[in-house]
């Protein structure tokens, strides 16, 4: 039997409030417990240390290169997450790795960050949200049409608490309403709450109305099935992050998307398998476009005083 190639990945970019270079790299490589204790995002060593240490590693893959926006961060991430090479420029990884993670959580600059690697023919994973303007969304769509290998998702797409609901929710009767609570802000974190809803309902989101108050926003979203969704985003609401409630004609259920480690590991393995197989996307790219269109519709709704925005206002301007 031919030995499986050990895939090399670069972890690129780290923006304020987003510790993915620490966590994603550690999940793939394993980690140094003493160095990880100094991670500025306390939740990361918390959920890593809750796992059996010997199980933390993705066989056949390694994050070999790291670049961060602030050069002082990269050696700290490298020590904590066992990354052997720190590079001075993100582009320096071209020719050294098999694929890259664009790990910055800012949807307004992902085209700029991804472009050198797409043009070099490397598979690229783009952190959520992939894009927050129609022009950038069109750029990603154009790249995909030309054969670029791009994936983007929220880790909540893979939350294990969704498994039972995806397998069987017949006890709810006809589904009428879903609430999915999220923290921080709509642009960059609303996608966490929404992508889990997308998994449950599938494509066909019709419109978004975003009501905004200081530290609190609520999106009211309609799906073609008739199900209505409320997605509250509480800026300081980490205590309720990931609470999903479904109500139907025969019952209701509440689940907590709290297993961050497993969700991220599934997300990372999905991309690693995608790179290794070289075949079809694990989920249709059209789903990612629709998810981004819903987030962008919310941004437009807020800017226009809470007007209900049709998702088609965004999607109809993107040629796929």
Mean pLDDT to the nearest integer, 248-256 = 97
DSSP string for 81-130 = HT--EE-SSGGGGTTT-SEEEE----TTSHHHHHHHHHHTT--EEEESS-
Stated pTM of the model: 0.96
The residues with which 125 forms a beta bridge, in sequence order, are 101, 151
Mean pLDDT to the nearest integer, 48-60 = 97
Mean pLDDT to the nearest integer, 241-246 = 95
The confidence score (pLDDT) of residue 1 equals 44
Residue 320 pLDDT grade (very low, low, confident, very high; cuts 50, 70, 90): confident
Mean pLDDT to the nearest integer, 134-141 = 98
CA distance 165 to 131: 29
Q: Is the dihedral of CA 290, 294, 299, 300 positive or negative?
A: positive
Residue 240 pLDDT grade (very low, low, confident, very high; cuts 50, 70, 90): confident
User: Average model confidence (pLDDT) for the chain?
Assistant: 96
Which two tokens mark 86?
């720190």
The confidence score (pLDDT) of residue 206 equals 98
The confidence score (pLDDT) of residue 169 equals 95
Which two tokens mark 233?
């985003």
156 φ, ψ to 5°? -70, -15
The confidence score (pLDDT) of residue 122 equals 98
Q: Which residue pairs, CB below 8 angstroms and at least 24 apart, start in 110-118?
A: 110/136, 111/136, 111/139, 111/140, 113/12, 113/13, 114/140, 114/150, 116/90, 116/91, 118/143, 118/148, 118/150
3-state secondary structure of 304: coil
pLDDT in tens, 154-202: 999 999 999 999 999 999 999 999 999 999 999 999 999 999 999 999 9
The residues with which 63 forms a beta bridge, in sequence order, are 9
CA distance 33 to 135: 43
pLDDT in tens, 266-285: 999 999 999 999 989 999 99
Mean pLDDT to the nearest integer, 280-307 = 97
pLDDT in tens, 200-219: 999 999 999 999 999 999 99
Residue 2 pLDDT grade (very low, low, confident, very high; cuts 50, 70, 90): low
Q: Which of 34-38, 57-61, 170-174, 316-320 has the lowest mean pLDDT?
A: 316-320
CA distance 124 to 117: 7
The residues with which 86 forms a beta bridge, in sequence order, are 66
Q: Please give the helix or strand (H or E) that residue 245 lies within, else none.
A: strand 243-248
């Amino acid at each position: 039997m031919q030995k499986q190639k050990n895939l090399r990945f670069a972890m690129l970019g780290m923006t304020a409030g987003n510790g993915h270079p620490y966590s994603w790299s550690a999940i793939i490589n394993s980690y140094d417990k003493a160095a990880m204790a100094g991670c500025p995002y306390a939740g990361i060593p918390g959920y890593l240390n809750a796992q059996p240490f010997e199980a933390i590693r993705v066989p056949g893959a390694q994050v070999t290169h790291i670049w961060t926006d602030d050069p002082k961060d990269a050696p700290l991430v490298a020590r904590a997450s066992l990354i052997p090479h720190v590079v001075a420029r993100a582009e320096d990884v071209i020719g050294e790795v098999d694929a890259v993670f664009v790990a910055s959580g800012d949807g307004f600059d992902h085209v700029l960050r991804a472009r050198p690697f797409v043009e070099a023919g490397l598979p690229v994973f783009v952190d959520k949200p992939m894009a927050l303007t129609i022009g950038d969304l069109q750029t990603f769509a154009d790249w995909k049409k030309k054969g670029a290998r791009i994936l983007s998702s929220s880790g909540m797409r893979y939350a294990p608490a969704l498994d039972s609901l995806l397998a069987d929710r017949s006890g709810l009767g006809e589904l009428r309403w879903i609430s999915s609570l999220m923290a921080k802000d709509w642009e960059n974190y609303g996608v966490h709450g929404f992508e889990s809803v997308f998994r449950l309902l599938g494509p066909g989101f019709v419109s978004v109305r975003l009501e905004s108050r200081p530290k609190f926003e609520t999106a009211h979203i309609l799906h073609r099935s008739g199900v209505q969704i409320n997605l509250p985003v509480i800026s300081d609401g980490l205590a309720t992050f990931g609470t999903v409630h479904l109500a139907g004609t025969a019952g209701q259920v509440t689940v907590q998307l709290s297993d961050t480690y497993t969700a991220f590991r599934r997300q990372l393995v999905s991309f690693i398998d995608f790179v290794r197989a070289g075949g079809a996307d694990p989920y249709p790219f059209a789903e990612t476009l629709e998810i981004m269109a819903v987030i962008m519709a919310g941004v437009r709704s807020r800017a226009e005083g809470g007007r209900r925005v049709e998702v088609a206002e965004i999607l109809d301007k993107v040629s796929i």
